[in-house]
Amino acid sequence: MATPTSPKLDHPTFAAVKAAFPSAKLRATEFRGQSTLIVEPGDAHAILAFLRDDAKTRYTFLSDVTGVDYLNYPTPMPGRFAVIYNLIAFDRDDRFFVKVFLDPSIPTNGTDEDPALYVDSVCDLWPGAEWTEREVFDMYGIRFRNHPDLRRILTWEAYPAHPLRKDYPLRGRGERESYKVVDRSTS
């Protein structure tokens, strides 16, 4: 068994963000050398723009945007859903994570638009975010404000759920069975 260690919050980006955004509510964590900054949904876009443009941080590359559903997670988390931005500064070989927690305001078993599950899109900062944000929308139903083309990317338009939500059954709700059958005589 590995002994639990307390996170080492010595990543220089933490101090840079804290100095630039003194009034923002920031939390930080670290695991095995990977540092994560947890920000409020309203601050995310400004902080990500700062991280891209500031001379000390210069995270020019957005490696990925992913989502997490923390339903039934063993330890208490600040929110049900999370959006994680995976940033890289190539000139320092430095990877950094920014995380946003969101709590749904309506039941999560459908596909209805939830005003609480909204984050500002970062497509204006990194154009490559377009498809990764579409994937987060498709799988978790988290919508991105000012996204140029927020459509489902993996499932089809009329798919009746967001399948990576933990309250969605693994085998689906009959989507894989409800197809027309082609037989020899009709084809």
How many residues of this chain bind another protein (CB under 8 A)?
Answer: 21
Regarding 32 and contact with another protein (CB under 8 A), the answer is: no
Produce one character per residue of 35-53: b if its CB has 16 or more CB atoms within 10 Å, e if not.
bbbbbebebbbebbebbbe
What tokens were used for 84? Answer: 């994680």
Q: Is 128 left (phi over 0), alpha (psi -120 to 50) or beta?
A: alpha
Binding region for another protein (CB under 8 A) out of 53-61, 94-102, 109-117, 175-183: 175-183
Q: Which of residues 96-155 bind another protein (CB under 8 A)?
A: 154-155
**Residues 151-170: x where in contact with another protein by CB under 8 A, - otherwise, as a string:** ---xxx------x----xxx
- For the chain, helix, strand, coil in percent to 5 are 20, 25, 55
Regarding 181 and contact with another protein (CB under 8 A), the answer is: yes
CB nearer to another protein: pick between 43 and 138: 138
Measured between alpha carbons, how far is residue 41 from residues 25, 50, 153, 154, 158 in Å? 10, 15, 23, 25, 28
Regarding 179 and contact with another protein (CB under 8 A), the answer is: yes
Minimum Å gap between C-beta 110 and another protein is 15
Minimum Å gap between C-beta 172 and another protein is 3
Binding site for another protein (CB under 8 A): 154-156, 163, 168-173, 175-177, 179-185, 187
